[in-house]
Chain A
Amino acid sequence: MPGTLEEQVEIGEGTELLRGTLHRPAGTPRCAVLFCYPLFEERKSSCRPLVEAARHLAGAGCAVLRFDYRGCGDGPGDFEQYAPSDWLADVDAAAGFLIRHAPAIPFGLLGLRFGANLALQSARRLPAAFAVAWEPIPEGRAWIEEELRRKMVREMMTFGRSRASRGALREQLERGCLVDLDGYPVSPRLFRELCGDVPGETGSAHPPVLVVHVGPRDPPAARLAALRDRFSSAEFRTWRALPFWNRIGLTDCSALIRTTGDWIERALT
């Protein structure tokens, strides 16, 4: 985007520096947006769409910070060392960094999948003027089931049939063992925290929230109802597309990005 700048930044101190990119718009920014990435392989598959979203918003006058949590992406440490409580702390650190670099302007968050849950939860704690949640994950235990099902499919493609037993894997997790989810070690702490407090949840007031469901059809009614319970005045939209965070190829997310940019514009007025 002409006039915008991308600066590779480090957040924090010591050996656990978070790594990120700050997108600066031309001129004074109108708002600041913190991006919260998804987990597991979704981080890799959604890389380019989130970069393009950040560039679009920067072109529209927003300062945008993308960053990696500890144990994820280019972040320090190994995946199995961290859990949602650590990543919420990372969101706090990144938010603090962004607010210091873009002070006195509205601050908001945009998250994808698990990052959407972190964004929604953080929007209640931080001085957020808005939050955007692209396809937040369902309740933690249900999400683990989704990931286990993905493992079944991948094994089927590799071996002709699945070999693992979801029951056995669940039991391992319940017993406090580390489980290999296709190259991602799920620690007992990660499993416990996911199945405990559901991120992005109950509370009273919340800033303007946009929740976008991405999929071939409308979200299941129960999932929609659960989100409406937690965010009574949120706006809900559906973008009919394949889940781009799961795709092997590249997906054109320009429609989703434009819709989100327009919504943020309205939320600021």
Chain B
Amino acid sequence: MTTEQAICFENDGETLRGILHLPARTASGPPPGVVFLHGWSGCRLGPHRMFVKAARRFAAQGWMCLRFDFRGRGESDGASDRTTIHSMISDTHGAIEFLRARQTVRPVVLLGICSGGKVAVAAAASDARAEGLVLWSAEPLGGLGGRPIRAGRSARVLREYAHKLARPETWRKLLRLQVHGKLVGKAILQAETPDRAERRDEDRLLEAFRAFGGRALFVYGGNDPDTKRAAHTYRRFCRENSIAHQFHEIAESNHSFYSLAWEHEAIERSAAWLARLHAWSRT
């Protein structure tokens, strides 16, 4: 039988609050874990309580699930107008640390919806502990949003930077822009792009995502005009960078899967994928 606990953890001086779903006792070995990442103005419930239902479903399958509110959202501390994609990425890393500090969890999967999907991609690009991604109607990250993706550097240089980015102190500096921006930019990117700092940062994280060694499941709604392009560009990006991925389109569904049937399909597809990922991670 699964149980649920109210939890809180600190990140960047803010208290973040959430619910931890503890799985029923499973077979030997550490349980796998899912961290749920809500959308920009959402909360840990997800649209039509979808995160609650999914977490309970996955916990029944043996997964430890953490649903939490980003700072400035839901029940977490922090001013609402100071939340950024970067603060969400940071909070995601904090959530992974919290989960792993509770108990050895492996693999760790990030499940994000809408901009939470973008956050999941960016967080996985900068944290080697994230081995899987379940992305529901994920917003495109950086250049995938409409501008051409700049050509990457050689695979060797990228792997070097990806290795550095996997170190917590590096990504913390990057997120706080304490790393010499030009140096990193020049090394990773072939050309400076005269865009806003946020867009540049997303592009850097997208470049780092080229080296993602985990697996990803993308789920989109067939009637979601916002993310049709994102599905196309993510799919191409994954192919170009040999990222193991799967795409599933839910026929006729809208962006937030607003029907019991669409919601069920998204959750069950994800549950099946998670089961395969867990089996794969144990080989």
Contact with A along B1-16 (1 / 0, CB 8 A): 0001011100000010
Q: How far is the CB of B15 from chain A (nearest CB, A)?
A: 8
> Inside 8 A of A159's CB, which chain B residues have their CB?
223, 252
Q: How far is the CB of B40 from chain A (nearest CB, A)?
A: 8
Are B45 and A47 in contact, CB atoms less than 8 angstroms apart?
yes
Task: Tell whether A170 is near chain B: CB-to-CB under 8 Å.
Answer: no
Interface-side segment among B46-54, B171-179, B196-204, B272-280: B46-54
Task: Tell whether B41 is near chain A: CB-to-CB under 8 Å.
Answer: yes
Per the 8 Å Cβ criterion, residues 6-48 of A in contact with B are 6, 8-10, 19, 21, 41, 43-44, 47-48
Are A48 and B74 in contact, CB atoms less than 8 angstroms apart?
yes
> Inside 8 A of A235's CB, which chain B residues have their CB?
none
Q: Looking at chain A, what size class is its interface with the partner chain?
A: 20 to 34
Which chain A residue shows the least CB distance to B5?
A8
Contact with B along A62-95 (1 / 0, CB 8 A): 0000000000111000010000000000000000
Are A48 and B45 in contact, CB atoms less than 8 angstroms apart?
no
Are A74 and B19 in contact, CB atoms less than 8 angstroms apart?
yes
Which chain B residue shows the least CB distance to A75?
B52
Interface-side segment among B137-145, B153-161, B205-213, B254-262: B254-262
Which chain A residue shows the least CB distance to B263?
A183
Q: Looking at chain B, what size class is its interface with the partner chain?
A: 20 to 34
Known: A8-B8, A183-B47. A47 touches B74 (CB 8 A): yes
Q: How far is the CB of B140 from chain A (nearest CB, A)?
A: 19
- Main SS at interface, chain A: mixed
Are A183 and B50 in contact, CB atoms less than 8 angstroms apart?
yes
Are B260 and A185 in contact, CB atoms less than 8 angstroms apart?
yes
Are A44 and B254 in contact, CB atoms less than 8 angstroms apart?
no
Q: How far is the CB of A264 from chain B (nearest CB, A)?
A: 22
Q: How far is the CB of B5 from chain A (nearest CB, A)?
A: 9
Are A157 and B50 in contact, CB atoms less than 8 angstroms apart?
no
Which chain B residue shows the least CB distance to A158?
B254
> Inside 8 A of A184's CB, which chain B residues have their CB?
48
Task: Tell whether B75 is near chain A: CB-to-CB under 8 Å.
Answer: yes
Among A41, A48, A157, point to the contact of B80 (Cβ < 8 A).
A48
Q: How far is the CB of A134 from chain B (nearest CB, A)?
A: 19
Per the 8 Å Cβ criterion, residues 205-248 of B in contact with A are 223
Q: How far is the CB of B95 from chain A (nearest CB, A)?
A: 16
Are A51 and B49 in contact, CB atoms less than 8 angstroms apart?
no
> Inside 8 A of B252's CB, which chain A residues have their CB?
158-159
Task: Tell whether A180 is near chain B: CB-to-CB under 8 Å.
Answer: yes
> Inside 8 A of B122's CB, which chain A residues have their CB?
none
> Inside 8 A of A182's CB, which chain B residues have their CB?
48, 258-259
> Inside 8 A of B52's CB, which chain A residues have their CB?
73-74
> Inside 8 A of A52's CB, which chain B residues have their CB?
80
- Sample of 9 more A-B contacts, CB < 8 Å, known A72-B49, A74-B45, A183-B260: A10-B6, A19-B19, A21-B17, A44-B45, A47-B74, A47-B75, A51-B74, A73-B52, A182-B48
